[in-house]
Amino acid sequence: MGFEDVRLIKAMKIKTLITKILKIALLIIVILIVVQIVLYIGFSYSEKITLTKNIDHIITYKKRIFLLTPFGDNGIIILQPFPSIFKKIIKHTILINGKKIWYKKYKNDFSMRGKNIYISPNKQYILISDKLESEPYVIIDVKDNKQHTIKAPDGKSYCYRKRNCCGYPFSFHKWSNDSKKIIVYKTGTYVKMNPTRDYMAFREFWGISTKTKKGKLINREEKKWHENIKWD
């Protein structure tokens, strides 16, 4: 066997080795892509929160896993070399004695819609409020499972804090001791039409009747607005 034959055999072995390495690398890439697709589709799981002995709140999450964490800015997507987990809420369910009496689904991939659940002192009513303050309250009567949506009294959102500018003016304060009212408040600003045209902040307390499902103004207070304004 001549020198040229030896070189040719070595070259063929190297070529074969490189081909195998490329095939293995390609197979690994394909497997990772398939795994990433499966992980991106994600999986759902539920968390059960017991509110009373016969009332449960079920939160359903969807979890996605990224092998490489995407980061985007100005339309450019960069894959960062570390994994990450993305979790979102896709459904809330209220069960009474194991029976579903209320639920809310979300489709928006960017929503993390938490709910605050408030049980009345006499355990007859359930108040459901949105943590982002972007949806009207829902009151459920446990006795007959009837649901009522509480609309804003004027359909407007008055606010001076950014977190309150979400389309629904009320924030929960407390239940009345007799469970006949839900005490809520809203805040906002306006320009007082006086010679100095003062920029004013206000806070209002409202009572929402569990019987009529309507709100009534209880108290209103005002202060000159400033960035770090505080209420008693």
Q: What is the distance of C-alpha 37 from the center of its chain?
A: 24
pLDDT at 163: 44
Give Cβ neighbours of residue 33 (< 8 Å, ≥ 6 apart): none
C-alpha–C-alpha distance, residues 192 and 220, integer Å: 15
pLDDT at 157: 40
The model's pLDDT over 142-175, given as tens digits with 9 standing for 90+, comes to: 888 888 888 776 554 433 344 444 457 788 899 9
Q: What is the distance of C-alpha 108 from the center of its chain?
A: 10
Rg (CA), the chain: 29
Higher pLDDT, 56 or 13: 56
C-alpha–C-alpha distance, residues 10 and 69, integer Å: 42
pLDDT at 160: 35
Q: What is the mean pLDDT of the chain?
A: 81
Q: Which of 68, 60, 67 is nearest to 87 (CA)?
A: 60
Q: Is the pTM of this model over 0.75?
A: no
pLDDT at 110: 52
> Does the pLDDT value for residue 186 go beyond 90?
no
**Percent of the chain at pLDDT above 90?**
22
> Does the pLDDT value for residue 192 go beyond 80?
no
DSSP 223: E
Lowest average pLDDT, out of 30-39, 72-81, 171-180, goes to: 72-81
C-alpha–C-alpha distance, residues 115 and 112, integer Å: 10
Q: Which of 166, 200, 174, 172 is nearest to 186 (CA)?
A: 172
The model's pLDDT over 87-129, given as tens digits with 9 standing for 90+, comes to: 888 899 999 998 999 988 887 655 567 889 999 999 999 999 8
Categorize the per-residue pLDDT at 63 as very low, low, confident or very high, splitting at 50, 70 and 90: confident
Higher pLDDT, 71 or 137: 137
Please state the rounded mean pLDDT for residues 11-23.
86
Q: State the alpha helices, DSSP H only, in the chain.
A: 3-41
Residue-by-residue DSSP string for 39-80: HHH-EEEEEEEE-SSSEEEEEEEEEEEESSEEEEETTEEEEE
Residue 167 region by backbone torsions, left for phi larger than 0, else alpha for psi between -120 and 50, else beta: left
Count of other CB atoms within 10 angstroms of residue 159: 19
pLDDT at 94: 93
Domain boundaries, the chain: 114-232
Tokens linked to 53: 């002995």
Categorize the per-residue pLDDT at 66 as very low, low, confident or very high, splitting at 50, 70 and 90: confident
Burial 116-148 (b: 16+ CB within 10 A, else e): eebbbeeeebbbbbbeebebebbbbebeeeeeb
pLDDT at 164: 42
> Does the pLDDT value for residue 79 go beyond 80?
no
C-alpha–C-alpha distance, residues 82 and 66, integer Å: 8
